[in-house]
Each structure stands twice: as structure tokens, then as C-alpha cells.
Amino acid sequence: MKVGLIQQSNTGNREENIAKLSRNIAVLAAQGAGLIVLQELHNGLYFCQTENTMVFDQAEPIPGPSTEYFGQLAALHGVVLVLSLFERRAAGLYHNTAVVIEKDGSIAGKYRKMHVPDDPAYYEKFYFTPGDLGFQPIDTSVGRLGVLVCWDQWYPEAARLMAMAGADVLIYPTAIGWESTDTEEEQLRQQDAWVTVQRGHAVANGLPVISCNRTGYEADPSGVTNGIRFWGHSFVAGPQGELLATAPDDDEANMLVEVDLARAEQVRRWWPFFRDRRIDEFGDITKRWRM
């Protein structure tokens, strides 16, 4: 399967951002991509740097304008798309939601972000209700997609549950970067940890991992912080954690990567982690803490 990733820098002009995505989708589709993954909250700026009730006006229903627009693109180009949208479920109830669009333009399924951060410059709990759809892969014409979102990528339990439900691949639309006061050494530690934990999910579950991050600088509208420089570095790892492709940190990129889904079967025969799991001793994993 040929997978496309669009690593993009955004502005406050939603129409321009979507137009750029549309052009890049066309480019990757022309190169043979069957699956194209977009970054987290790809239509606009990463608005969670501040808490502002007016931002809720950006949310939209699913189905809605974005699923209709990108559905038409998916059908036009014959590709499966992974979107990341600000979902308005009801008045006062919003989610950070990934939507998978099938090649015919229909909605194959959606996933609502389960782990929602609340850190300086990442005030997502103000905007997003934690997901309630569980860790359920989405069936498509290119395989069963285990779609998770950004902060979910730090949790091995989420990756494991997707794998146990039959996912063929793990996919993470992402928006993560550096605050400018971090030292260069600290920046490298953060990025290395981000890559390492996701490669670990690939190894532990014997599955490819696709991580699509945004890039570019976005100012803090409040001026309290120095804004976020999103570190890009989108990548694809194989089922042994091997890096198949990596995008630059500080530039936009359209990546086209060949992913062999059948290889996971062989890797799991060599490394039968699922066979040897001591599920009879794992009951405490559902507790908050152990003493």
C-alpha cells in the first residue's frame, strides 16, 4: 500500500489552508497513494494555545461541510483520507475527532480523541470532551485502520487495544512542537521521546505506525508564551520499529511511503508477543495506581 502524509504549516486563513491541502492530496493521489493522512486539526491554526469561547464557532457537525468537501476529493482521486476535525456534537459538547473517508466519498468511520491534554499552550480540555467511541479500528478498502490522535500516542494501552481489535496499521494525526524557551538539548529530548514511544508501539504490536505532524510557527494570541514551533518530523515506521521515511522538522512535505501490511504477519511469527502475554496477571492495569 502506498501511503501519503501531508505535513503542512497553517495560517489563520481557513480557505487557503484547505486549498493547499486539496492541491497536496491531488499530488499524492497522482503519485499512486491509496491512503492519505492529514495532520491534527488541519483546517486552521492550533487554537488550543488559549481558552476562548469564540473559538467554538469553528466547530462543525459530522457529517458536515468538511466531510462533504473532502469526501468529494476522495471520490475524485479514488483515495482513502484520514481527516482531523473540531466536531460540534451538540451545544456545549465538542470533540477532537478523526474521520476516515472511503474512496467513494462516504464516511467509513470516526474516532474521538480519548486522551485530552491540559498543559501550558495545549489547553485542549477547555475545548474537547474525551472520546466515547472506544479504541475501535475502522474498516476501509485499504485495510483496518487503527486511528488515534496526538496525545493518544503516548499511551501503549491505546495502541494495544487497537491492535487487539484487528488493526492493520496505527495512524496518529498530530500537532506537537516546542515552546521557544526550551533549550536545544531539551527540544531534542522531547522529539526523540516522541519518536521512540511510537516506534515502541510498532514493535510491541507488530504493526506499521504512521505519524503525521504539522510544522511551522504559530504565535500565542494572548502573548503569554512565545508560541509553538511545530516540529514536523512526520514519519512511518515498520512493524519492527524500523523507520521507513521521515519528514524534515522545519519545512512542509508531501511524503509517499510504501507500507507492506502483510509483513506484520511474519514479524508476529518471529516475535509472538501476543502469544506470551500474561493476561491472567494484568487485571491491575485498569487501576489508577498500585500500592
Task: Identify the active-site residue in 150, 179, 212, 218.
Answer: 150
Is residue 103 part of the annotated active site? The answer reads no
Task: Identify the active-site residue in 20, 40, 102, 218.
Answer: 40
Is residue 212 part of the annotated active site? The answer reads no
Task: Identify the active-site residue in 48, 110, 113, 179.
Answer: 113
Three-state secondary structure of 149-216: CHHHHHCHHHHHHHHHCCCCEEEEEECCEEECCCCHHHHHHHHHHHHHHHHHHHHHHCCCEEEEECEE
Is residue 287 part of the annotated active site? The answer reads no
List residues bridging with 195 in a β-sheet: none
Residues noted as catalytic:
40, 113, 150
